[in-house]
Amino acid sequence: MSITKRTELHEESVATVYRRLLADTTDAVYVVGSSVADLKQLIAELSSTAEPPVCMLAADRTWRAATEDFRVAGTAAELVAAGVLSPRATDGPADGPLVITDSVVASIVPAGERVAGLTTADEAFVADVRERYADAWTDAEPFVLGVPPLSRIRATLAAELGPGLRADFDAALAAETVRRRDDLDETALVLLLAARNKVLLYDLVRWGEDVGFASRATFSRIKTRFEAAGLLDTEKVPIDVGRPRLRLLLGDERLRGVEPGALVGVARTLLSAHEA
């Protein structure tokens, strides 16, 4: 549906309003001042193959809150790698929420259980607003997501550490929200899943550094903490040349046999009890 001079889009979600607006253009779209919830919805909505480039400008703290969820951050990284999403951040609050295409400016207004997109297609107004926010986006700092694309993580987990670990990773992400900068963040999760699959520590660390997932120092710090709490154990595995390597094992028997989706929850309980 093409949008005329003044239009009101009424939908059940912000994502649907975005979808309607993005469907009317193939040029870059500027999305400004979205809330944390709206950022998450738009990132989930965007396709890495069928959408115009989206230049998103939001407050730095809004980006950080939205991408605290590891799945959101990894999906956003996927979109950045595909050239679909270009995230930039302001120090203070950004105007909006606004969506600016090559032909309309839309103000997003939530109203109870529905969302309205109040638009204008006045050519001179749209041109002025688009220029203003294109400049604001250009002047803002790129927001660094700090995680690899999810597809790269999944593919390399399967190829380098085994399809069983990849399946466990997918099951764990589907079961619960993994929060970054948490005691049991994505690195801790993968370390526990690697122990569940009896992966060599050397192979895990090499994978993590090669893919940009986590550093050797990060893995080592979490491993030390989990060993002290009894969550992890290791066994030496002889190799032809050099020092034996360490195979990761789950330590506490209450972790063994736990489904991947419940592993973080059980580990959190055990870690809290140990460190109380």
* 178 within domain boundaries: yes
* 1 within domain boundaries: no
Torsion of CA 225, 164, 213, 47, to 10 degrees: -140
Do 121 and 4 contact (CB within 8 A), yes or no?
yes
Residue 9 pLDDT = 58
Residue 112 pLDDT = 67
Residue 1 pLDDT = 41
Sign of CA dihedral 86, 91, 97, 99: negative
Pair 136, 15 in one domain: yes
How far lies 182's CA from each of 69, 178, 251, 252, 264, in Å?
A: 10, 8, 21, 21, 11
Pair 270, 155 in one domain: yes
What is the spatial distance between Cα 96 and Cα 75, in angstroms, rounded to a whole number?
A: 23
The domain that contains 164 carries what CATH number? Answer: 1.10.10
Question: Omega before 163 cis (within 30°)?
Answer: no
Residues comprising the chain, all counted: 276
What domain count does the chain have? 2
What is the spatial distance between Cα 143 and Cα 25, in angstroms, rounded to a whole number?
A: 25
Pair 176, 262 in one domain: yes
Residue 4 pLDDT = 44
Do 245 and 237 contact (CB within 8 A), yes or no?
yes
Residue 275 CB-density burial (10 A; 0-12 exposed, 13-18 middle, 19+ buried): exposed
- Of the residues 123, 142, 161, which one is the last residue of a structural domain? 142
Residue 50 pLDDT = 64
- 3-class SS string, 231-244: CEEEEEECCCCCCC
- Of the residues 116, 142, 168, which one is the last residue of a structural domain? 142
Domain region containing 114? 6-142
- Of the residues 97, 123, 142, which one is the last residue of a structural domain? 142
- pLDDT tens track, the chain, 276 positions: 444 444 555 555 777 788 888 887 888 999 998 899 889 988 988 865 567 899 999 999 999 999 999 999 999 999 999 999 999 999 887 887 899 999 899 888 876 677 777 888 889 999 999 999 999 999 999 999 999 999 999 999 999 999 999 999 999 999 878 888 888 899 999 999 999 999 999 999 999 999 999 999 999 999 999 999 999 999 999 887 778 899 999 999 999 989 999 999 999 999 988 886
Nearest to 261 by CA among 163, 183, 193, 164: 193
Pair 33, 120 in one domain: yes
How far lies 50's CA from each of 1, 31, 98, 156, 223, in Å?
A: 17, 17, 21, 25, 41
What is the spatial distance between Cα 218 and Cα 96, in angstroms, rounded to a whole number?
A: 38
Do 102 and 3 contact (CB within 8 A), yes or no?
no
Pair 236, 267 in one domain: yes
Residue 241 pLDDT = 79
Residue 96 pLDDT = 77
Pair 97, 190 in one domain: no
Nearest to 234 by CA among 242, 244, 165: 244
Q: Which amino acid is at 42?
A: L
The domain that contains 34 carries what CATH number? Answer: 3.30.870.10
Residue 10 pLDDT = 57
